[in-house]
Amino acid sequence: MSKTLALEVKNLSVEFDTYGGVVKAVRDVSFQLNKGETLAIVGESGCGKSVTVQSIMGLIPTPPGRITSGSAKLDGEEMLGLPTKLLNQYRGKRISMIFQDAMSAMNPTMTVGKQIAETLVVHQNLSRRQAMKEAVDLLARTKIPEPEQRAKQYPFEFSGGMLQRAMIAMSIACKPEVLIADEPTTALDVTIQAQILNLLQDLQKEYELSIVLITHDLGVVAKMAHQVAVMYAGQIVEMGEIDDIFYHSRHPYTAGLKAAMPSNKAHEQDLKVIEGSPPDLFSPPKGCGFCARCDYAMSICEQRPTPKFQISGDHYAHCWLLHPEAPKSERQKLDSFMKSERSDVT
């Protein structure tokens, strides 16, 4: 059964002008999101996850930021480069976003109900009364207790978990085709995190949502994702279905992320860390961005950009060790490490 594309991003590159020079924050990123599925974009802080999705939504400040190349199509319709007036016909209505910090994202001078209702007035042409009634229903749907009373309250009167639910209510108000969730469980305790993830899964089924999930938590990925894109230094270094990434990963960085993840046996052993720091994106390396931190790096890794090696189906990785002429000894060492570090989170 063939899948239908909800969002297609091709060769996206984003730069920022700073006093220190030009930061190449996103470099030639491509991915596809199927309708009704969840794509998780994972990687350590500063790898370009949030900038990627903010660029698609037209939310990066210009200047200093700019999209230097690429395409982002929502259900086949190009979004990049649209004037703000036209882009506003997509944002909130057909593609919406749950921001990382709900408190900062919401207007502290407006009640929560009015903020949700405003989206419905603008995009659905509802009257103020109709929009407020729908806002209360949305709060109830996101399992906020006493929604009529809560709709009259201000963001500071909500707990962190309830604020995140209110943000979700606002983001699904117009029943968008694509929902971008930028680390939606950050700063929430484990119990509330699980509730938020379950809520997103329920809403995905109810509305047939296609979700882009930004996170650094592989446990969240295991629970939510159908496909995973692993980002490092502004590039996608590996991409595949969830089982490909957890059980058949082929990039050393992906293996390092899995090895650094706590497990049920964490008390029996020390967590492994990825030594070193990400490269300077003022002047990105000519070759593989992970080369300086990789235990399996070869001379070619530093000298030449890494091509995409297809592994199986939609699973690919950018690693010279996948080249047919790569030294067998290094491939075997990496294979042995990956086998020993296969995660059991799924």
Q: Which residues contact 122 (CB under 8 A, 6 or more apart)?
A: 92
The 10s digit of each residue's pLDDT in 260-269 is: 877 655 455 6
Please check whether residue 113 is in contact with residue 148, taking contact to mean a CB–CB distance below 8 angstroms: no
CATH of 5-225, one of 1.10.1240.10, 1.10.10.10, 3.40.50.300, 3.30.1490.20: 3.40.50.300
Q: Which amino acid is at 276?
A: G
In this prediction, residue 337 carries a pLDDT of: 64
Q: Which residues contact 127 (CB under 8 A, 6 or more apart)?
A: 121
Burial class (CB in 10 A: 0-12, 13-18, 19+), 221: buried
In this prediction, residue 343 carries a pLDDT of: 45
pTM of structure:
0.89
The 10s digit of each residue's pLDDT in 177-207 is: 999 999 888 777 788 888 888 889 988 998 8
Please check whether residue 38 is in contact with residue 213, taking contact to mean a CB–CB distance below 8 angstroms: yes
Helix (H, G, I), strand (E, B) or coil at 240: strand
d(CA 56, CA 220): 23
In this prediction, residue 276 carries a pLDDT of: 87
Tokens 């894109």 sit at which residue?
Answer: 229
First to last CA, the chain: 25
Mean confidence (pLDDT) of the chain: 87
**Residue 342 — pLDDT band, cuts 50, 70, 90?**
low
**Domain extent listing, the chain:** 5-225, 248-340
Residue 21's region, left for phi above 0, alpha for psi from -120 to 50, else beta, is left
